[in-house]
Amino acid sequence: MNALIKAATIIDSKSSHHGTTVDIRIKYGKIRLIGQNLSQEKGEKLIQKENLYASQGWFDSSVSIGQPGYEERETIDNGLTVAAKSGFTGIAINPNTYPILDTSSDITFVSKMGEGHATSIFPIGALTRNSESVDLAELYDMQQSGAVAFGDYQRAVSNPNLLKIALQYTQGFNGLVLSFPLEDNIAGTGKMNEGITSTGIGLKGIPAIAESLQVARDLHILEYTGGKLHIPTISTAASVALIRDAKNKGLDVSCSVAIHNLFYTDQALLDFNTHYKVLPPLRTQEDIDALIAGIKDGTIDMVTSDHNPLDIERKQVEFDNAAFGTISQEATFGALLTLVSEKKAVQLLTNGRERFTQTSFPIEKDTDVNLTLFTTKGSYTFGQEHILSKSKNACFLGARLKGNVFGIMANQKIVLK
């Protein structure tokens, strides 16, 4: 991969070139020169765009890909193409496949399937066997095969002692434990946020306390055991406050928020559109305000697409029977840029890599190329033509978004839109 990037503004707080506009020469997958007025050499691909920005490659900490088992929803091959064209050079994939990824051979399979792409795949192994919250899965063996974390996607660890043992056990190999923030007994059969909107349209609600109670429990366990805990996709003001306090105590905890939980309130469900049926559910404007405050003060570490392709049989049914989930990856950057500055957006889209993979690719001479190229200018309405996934359950249809992704450069490959 030989290329010359012209006049790119660098957004990378770990780079000495942060905030400057420079040319970048790339030879054989490494940054060889960063400077001004560089001339294109023979064999170099010229990348020159108006209002071009470059950052470390973005990382998405929660992505669902159907394969193996649900290839009609999404395949690994197309899923990685979607990620690349959405600006992500790395994605952590959830274990909600068939079979569930709970053995070392499962992890090896998806890792091998992901080879040869610009975007790297990082499997999350199930925390418990078959994600049933009864017995721990083979965590150490899965880590040795490439698993970067352990969690049961959208399934809470109902047994607190199981979480305690997991946090203690994984300290022996620096493992990262994920615990989905939902107390099932309180959530019950709820379909959306419990509040004025759910009462008005007659749908069963999931109270905010169903999340915050679980978060409080998990943080108490973490304080007792030590270890590394990640709480994925929080959605309530109370959760932000609890995690803020835990970080002030020095606990090793991180958390993420899904982009749609920052962008939409529960009023999006007034017409019973199942594209907005997600878990955790869309909450209130007060919750969104608290989440954004948590982003600004560093309580919330990362934003994820929580991308979850689902086939038509799972979404175009009665609201009560529809599955939770939406595809959001194609819209993540454009939606986030409507809420925060480009510097904060890049920070939120790159923080996950170090937490999950302990790697970083600062934009410096002789560093391996791992770049996302984008612009902050312009706006557009997200439509069917912007959907790249096999499944079409996109909650952002009709949303007004900002900026655009040009593509990525990673793993000796260039993917441009």
- Catalytic annotation, residues: 306
Instruction: Calculate the CA dihedral of residues 26, 27, 31, 37 and round it to 10 degrees.
Output: -50
- DSSP secondary structure of 128-162: BGGG-SSSB--HHHHHHTT--EE--TT-----HHH
- DSSP secondary structure of 61-97: EEE---TTT-TTT--HHHHHHHHHHTTEEEEEEPS-S
Residue 299 near residue 255, CB atoms below 8 Å: yes
The answer for residues whose C-beta is within 8 angstroms of residue 112's C-beta and 6 or more apart is none
Name the DSSP class of 326.
Answer: B
Longest alpha-carbon distance in the chain: 66
| 383 vs 399: CA distance, rounded Å | 8
Residue 416 near residue 10, CB atoms below 8 Å: no
- Conformation bin of residue 61: beta by default, left when phi > 0, alpha when psi is -120 to 50: alpha
Residue 206 near residue 187, CB atoms below 8 Å: yes
Nearest in space to 391 (alpha carbons), one of 303, 325, 306, 318:
325
333 phi, psi to nearest 5 deg: -65, -45
* DSSP-based three-state secondary structure for 183: coil
| 314 vs 141: CA distance, rounded Å | 33
Please measure the distance between the N-terminal and C-terminal CA atoms of the chain and give it in whole angstroms: 17
